[in-house]
Amino acid sequence: MAGLFAALEASSLGPVLLATKAELHEGNTRHAQGGIAAAIGPGDSPEQHLADTVAAGAGLVNEENARILVESASRRISDLRRYGVHFDSEGVGPAFGREGAHGQARVLHALGDRTGAAVETALAEQVKNGRVVIYEHTLAVEIVMVEGQTVGIRALEQQSGIEHFFEASAVILATGGAGAAFSHTTNTPVATGDGISLAFAAGAEVTDLEFYQFHPTAFRQEGAPPFLISEALRGEGAVLRNHRGQAFMGRYHELADLAPRDIVARAMISEMRASNSDHIWLDCTVLNNLNPIERFPGIASFCRERGIDLRKDHIPVAPAAHYLMGGVRTDNWGRTTVPGLYACGESAATGVHGANRLASNSLLETVVFAKRAVEHIESNTGGAMPPSSDSIPFLPAGGAPVDISTIQRLLWKHAGIERTGQELRAGLAVVRAWPMNPRVVSRENHELAWLSIFAELLLTAALIREESRGAHFRTDFPQRDDERWGRHLVFHRAD
């Protein structure tokens, strides 16, 4: 969504090339279900949306940027409509869904629970019919710099094996998240955090990598593919139940099933432990006056294929890696600390999510900051985001394992929902011992190398942050410590 929107908006400025490593539609965007948050309904206001965003972010939200996020929502929703996205309606106005930690029902959705697919299809259609040059199956492998200025990218066209140099006056990274780094995830396999390692190699600062949001309710059944069971179901009244059939969330938080995601995920882990099970049940038989099959057609059909009828049965769910709050550090124009290099969408860390993202703010973030990056490029003012005064110089060990599942298991075990210094240190020792093999140049090998850097940075950041905040939970430091840790951890490449 970030890449498509940026390309569309930039196409009036001059030639635009869009390189994507798989097919155009592949990415996390297509799988987004719940929708896009926008305080445009009656009785709502950007001010209330901002307050919810700041509260969810656990003390680390950049309020200036979050204000831009919520105040731009109405204009970006209009842009999406102009590009052909049809949001679901109720009566004469749009239908608003409610999700966890939102004080209001303010989540616009399309095609029921297929919002991401609706948005992606509409934007991709516009891009294909416009002036943007599209290279599919083309992997960005290097941000090319000359005298400290970005001059383009090197990219590997996978089918021919040809490596191109694409010259550009500005490069916008929109490479998405890194959920594929964990064994249990809601993300697609393309989410390998490439942009973070590419930008880091080019000298850009990266930040907040210890903050990985685990979604409480991913479908969990032996052999089933990654699949999210949207929080919007709980917004409509669905209830989590333990193996004794008890609705337990009220014991953990006053908002019960709509508590912030980190709290729900940890409560579920605790209930799962107590019953020695790998899942919890989601009861959708109690939805408020609506037919789950009409409102959530995608989830209903996925469950039906596995013999589960939402009107009668409960869904087996468990937490899984979902959303990276951190990424390439940017200002509110999408500028990184490297001149000519911009980042937006999930690969960027604009600071609007702090230590924990408010549900459905991420799709909004993609379009708000993609637009601003293009506006900044248009202004021709150049420059870069000033570097952080306490950025940590870091040199990755540089090795990699032979397969991705080694990394996935390692991060799930050592840097999952509950972390300890001992586990994080042990994980780091394993990463640092991975061999440095000369490898055949392929997408898979590039991804392994980038994921290894990402894993090392994440483990290091999580080890340094000796407190619990937002999505980062240390059982050996269970309290939030604002005095020591009310700040961001930023890294740049030591050489």
| Contact residue for ligand FAD among 219, 323, 342, 394 (CB under 6 A) | 323
Question: CA triplet 186, 421, 453: central angle to 5 degrees?
Answer: 55
Q: How far apart are CA 121 and CA 188, in angstroms?
A: 17
Q: How far apart are CA 429 and CA 463, in angstroms?
A: 12
Identify the CA nearest to 126 among candidates 14, 21, 7, 35. 7
Contact 196, 312 (CB under 8 A): no
Nearer to ligand FAD, 327 or 427 (CB): 327
Identify which range of 41-49, 291-299, 310-318, 362-370 contacts ligand FAD by CB under 6 A: 362-370
The least distance separating ligand FAD from the CB of residue 142, rounded to whole angstroms, comes to 10
* Contact between 19 and ligand FAD per CB under 6 A: yes
Q: Computed from CA positions of residues 325, 321, 177, 441, in that sequence, does the dihedral angle turn out positive or negative?
A: positive
User: What would the two tokens of residue 270 be?
Assistant: 């605790």
Identify which range of 15-23, 79-87, 164-172, 282-290 contacts ligand FAD by CB under 6 A: 15-23
Residue 81 bears catalytic tag: no
* Contact between 330 and ligand FAD per CB under 6 A: no
Identify which range of 18-26, 54-62, 240-248, 462-470 contacts ligand FAD by CB under 6 A: 18-26
Identify which range of 17-25, 121-129, 242-250, 418-426 contacts ligand FAD by CB under 6 A: 17-25
The least distance separating ligand FAD from the CB of residue 188, rounded to whole angstroms, comes to 7
Q: Computed from CA positions of residues 325, 331, 336, 338, in that sequence, does the dihedral angle turn out positive or negative?
A: negative
Residue nearest to ligand FAD (CB): 345
* Contact between 85 and ligand FAD per CB under 6 A: no
Residues 6+ apart with CB under 8 A from 323: 177, 179, 212, 213, 215, 346, 353, 357, 362
Q: How far apart are CA 210 and CA 460, in angstroms?
A: 8
Nearer to ligand FAD, 248 or 342 (CB): 342
Site for ligand FAD in 99-118 (CB under 6 A): 115-116
Q: Computed from CA positions of residues 397, 398, 401, 403, in that sequence, does the dihedral angle turn out positive or negative?
A: positive
Q: How many residues bind ligand FAD (CB under 6 A)?
A: 40
Site for ligand FAD in 373-432 (CB under 6 A): none
Nearer to ligand FAD, 315 or 428 (CB): 315
Identify the CA nearest to 196 among candidates 346, 32, 21, 414. 346
* Contact between 2 and ligand FAD per CB under 6 A: yes
The least distance separating ligand FAD from the CB of residue 19, rounded to whole angstroms, comes to 5
DSSP-H helix ranges across 98-193: 115-128
- Active-site residues, by number, are 261
Residues that bind ligand FAD (CB under 6 A): 1-3, 19-22, 26-29, 31-36, 115-116, 139-140, 174-177, 186-187, 190-191, 194, 228, 323, 345-347, 360-363, 366
